[in-house]
Amino acid sequence: MHGDALLEFYKADDWFSSYAGKRVLVTGAGGFIPSHLTEALLLAGAHVTALVKYNGRGDIGNLRFMPAGLREALTVQLGDITDGPLMRRVCADQDMVFHLAALIGIPYSYIAPQHYVNTNVQGTLNVLEACRENGTPMVHTSTSETYGTALYTPIDEAHALQGQSPYSASKVGADMLAESYYRSFDLPVRILRPFNTFGPRQSARAFIPSVIHQLYANGKINVGSLAPKRDLSPVWDTVRGFLAIGASDAAIGKLINIGNGTTQTMRTVLDTILKLHGDDSVIVTENAPERVRPEKSEVVELLADTRKAERLLGWQPRLTLEDGLNACMDFYKSNAEDASRYRV
């Protein structure tokens, strides 16, 4: 979805217009979901500063996929959330901070757990301290991975938290810090907990872009377990969730799930992709070793209870799995070579 169709999609929500003229910082803006959120905020007329992790190439990540006219209106700040003094400077004079910067690859968290603590816990602390010093409202990004394998479904916000990977454990710690800054210092923090989000620009380390990229690259697909069930939302619905929670005073101090409210097995997702592709000659290798999580680390099922989002925010999902898959296939077919760069 792009151009006038994307603008009309977002304009259907009352909260979209509330960002016009606001000064907004998005951390991790070069990433998948943050780049789409940055685009939506620019479309809404916000003055957006995009914090992109410094690199020697000056690479702005997924922001390069935005229309040139929007990119010209964007202020890009290279840096890192682990730099506390920098965070205090970039959070100054902002009307809102959307904190999405994080290390998110679960397989890499088995290799480098300290890196995840440094970024996801200490980095979040730096953002919280900067917002506290500047009196800046903040939306903190959680993840459904903090729930682990469901003890019951659908999963509501009262569900127990389980650290089933170093990544999820680091995000539990970050979430608790965000909650504590509301309770201890009255910082206007809102916590959004998206379930599985997919769409154009997503890293090829994730299931859907990995399958599509392999499909277009060589017609052979290696996958891990196809039994897990996931609640999958096209990225534009997730972005609507961020915009909704950021605009809601009723959400201050609250943690709110965002999801589609239905589950699909990875087998169903794979079969749907193959059906949309229209080629029955594809070779699929299941349980490829490099694609399988450790047994006790695998999350079997995630299904969001989104009644709180509907009650407090007026948010409901509007897109289907097929809407998102068709957009993904169009994007990765056009950007197959580029997508292969993002596998971690």
- At residue 191, the 3 state secondary structure works out as strand
Let me know if 278 is exposed, middle or buried by CB neighbors in 10 A (0-12, 13-18, 19+): exposed
Domains of the chain, start order:
3-197+234-262+302-319 (3.40.50.720)
Q: Are 215 and 282 in contact (CB under 8 A)?
A: yes
Q: Helical H runs in the chain?
A: 3-11, 32-43, 68-72, 84-91, 106-111, 113-116, 123-134, 166-185, 207-218, 235-246, 266-277, 307-313, 321-334, 336-339
Alpha-carbon span 123 to 115, nearest angstrom: 11
Full 3-state SS string of 67-102: CHHHHHCCEEEEECCCCHHHHHHHHCCCCEEEECCC
For 9-21, give one letter per residue: b (16+ CB within 10 A) or e: bbeebebbebbee
- CA dihedral (309, 310, 315, 321) positive or negative: positive
What does the block give as tokens for 107?
């397989």
Alpha-carbon span 192 to 211, nearest angstrom: 28
CA terminus-to-terminus distance, the chain: 26
* pTM of the complete model: 0.92
Q: Helical H runs in 198-265?
A: 207-218, 235-246
Per-residue pLDDT tens digits of the chain, which is 344 residues long: 888 899 999 999 999 999 999 999 999 999 999 999 999 999 999 999 999 998 888 889 999 999 998 999 999 999 999 999 999 999 999 999 999 999 998 889 999 999 999 999 999 999 999 999 999 999 999 999 999 988 999 999 999 999 999 999 999 999 999 999 999 999 999 999 999 999 999 988 889 998 998 888 877 888 888 888 999 999 999 999 999 999 999 999 999 999 999 999 999 999 999 999 887 667 777 765 555 555 555 678 889 999 999 999 999 999 999 999 999 999 988 876 554 444 43
Pairing outcome for strands 138-141 and 232-234: unpaired
Alpha-carbon span 16 to 317, nearest angstrom: 15
Task: Give φ, ψ of 31 to 5 degrees.
Answer: -80, -175
